[in-house]
Structures are given as C-alpha cells and as structure tokens.
Amino acid sequence: MVDYSCSVCGEKWRTQQNENYYDRPLDALLDTGSKWTDIIGNGSEPHFTIVSQRVLEIWESEDIGKFPAFSVAILPPYKKMKEPPLMYYRLDYKKMEGAELDFDESGFINLKYCNVCQHYSYDWLQSDRMANAKITPYVLKEETWNGANIFRPQYPVGYMFCTEKVVDCAFKHKLTNFRFVPCEIGEGVGFSGADYSTKNWRKKLEKQIEEFRKNFRPVDPETGYYIQ
C-alpha cells in the first residue's frame, strides 16, 4: 500500500488506485455462470467493460468503432464450463472519455469532482439521484460528445455509455449478456436491461421503461427507507 495524496484536491488514497487499476492487463476469476458470454460483468468498483474478441471484431466491422483494449486472462477453475474461455479484452477506460456529464441536469446537488484523482463528493441527501427520491436521468452535455458510439463521461466512474447503434449491433449478432440501460432512467437499479433479442427492441424498451416507472419505489431521503 502506498499512501498517495492528490496534488489537486488533497484527497488521500491508500494506493494510487487509478494508476494501478486502469493501466494494465487484468486477471479475472469467474464466480457465476455456465456459458462464456460476449460481455462479462464485474460487480465491484471500478466496473470494467470486458468483452470477447468477437465483440471487438464485430464492432470494428460494423463501424461501431475500434477501441483500445487490454487482454484479460480468465483464471481457472471454470467449474461449470465445458469449453475453454474465449479471448477477452477490457476496454482501456482511460482512453474512452468522450463526453461530459451535466451534473445539474443529472440531479446532483453540490457535486465536487476532481479530474486528476477522480475523487467526488456531493450532498446526497439533497440530490434527487442519490437519495433515489425519484428517477433521475443521466444527461450529457451534447456539445462535448466526441461522436464515438461507445464512450464514457468523466463521471460516473466506470460507466460506459453507448449509442443505439451498439444495441442494434447486439441484436443483429445475437451478442450475449449485455445490459443496456437507457440514460433517461439513470442507473436503473433493478432494471433488467433492454430486451435486444427482438428487432423491435425500441418499442419494447418503451414498455419496459413504463413498467419500471410504475414499479419504482422511491427512498425517503430523511429515513433511507422505501416509501410504500
């Protein structure tokens, strides 16, 4: 562990975590699932975007884009798997920045963000988004978007954003395990993701969003409990 103090915001880190996490190939252990999927989720922070080699090739051939990536070694044992692992790659997070999040429009109150060490703080009791008082979208500053089909804003850390073209591509090539959450419902906690198994996924998604809004239970910012 190396103590590290950010020269810009003064935040102290136990390690230089950005440097360690983002700049190298990765070993991964699989703890669930019985099929090799085209994208592998990791529940911890930061959320790496790990995709199969096939996905990178399809994205390139379909003009989605060619993205910088590191190789990922999937470590044995793969108890439930009959086949050896696919070749996997992690998108190079540092090089994927392509738009700025509009913090005000996205419901953050008093958010302070350090571009150097990525430390952030906000008044979460006041923020609609963080208190889950209502469904709050992620809003990007349109003029800052670099036009990439897959990119990340400076915040939230670890989230990848994409255009509809990427969802169409996942449908066309029957890519597995992707979870696409529309920006209009923010994190979409509990949202299963757009059903891109059908060509009419847009229409279906509208219904999914409607359903999500209907079943959404806000949290009382005062108590932290769900409002019934």
Q: Which stretch binds Zn ion (CB under 5 A): 58-66, 118-126, 203-211, 217-225?
A: 118-126
8 binds Zn ion (CB under 5 A): yes
Please, what sign has the CA dihedral across residues 27, 29, 34, 40? negative
Nearest approach in angstroms of CB 6 to Zn ion is 3
**Structure-block tokens of residue 148:** 């990439």
* Chosen residue from 72, 117, 131, 209 binding Zn ion by CB under 5 A: 117
Q: Do the Cβ atoms of 179 and 98 come closer than 8 Å?
A: no
Nearest approach in angstroms of CB 155 to Zn ion is 13
Q: Do the Cβ atoms of 158 and 96 come closer than 8 Å?
A: no
Q: Which stretch binds Zn ion (CB under 5 A): 7-15, 43-51, 55-63, 76-84?
A: 7-15
**Amino acid residing at 123:** D
Nearest approach in angstroms of CB 156 to Zn ion is 16
189 binds Zn ion (CB under 5 A): no
Nearest approach in angstroms of CB 115 to Zn ion is 8
Q: Which stretch binds Zn ion (CB under 5 A): 14-22, 85-93, 111-119, 168-176?
A: 111-119
DSSP string, 74-127: EESP-TT-SSPPPPEEEE-GGGGEEEEE-TTTTT-SS-EE-TTT--EE--TTT-
Q: How many residues bind Zn ion (CB under 5 A)?
A: 8
For binding to Zn ion (CB under 5 A), which residues are involved? 6, 8-9, 11, 114, 116-117, 119
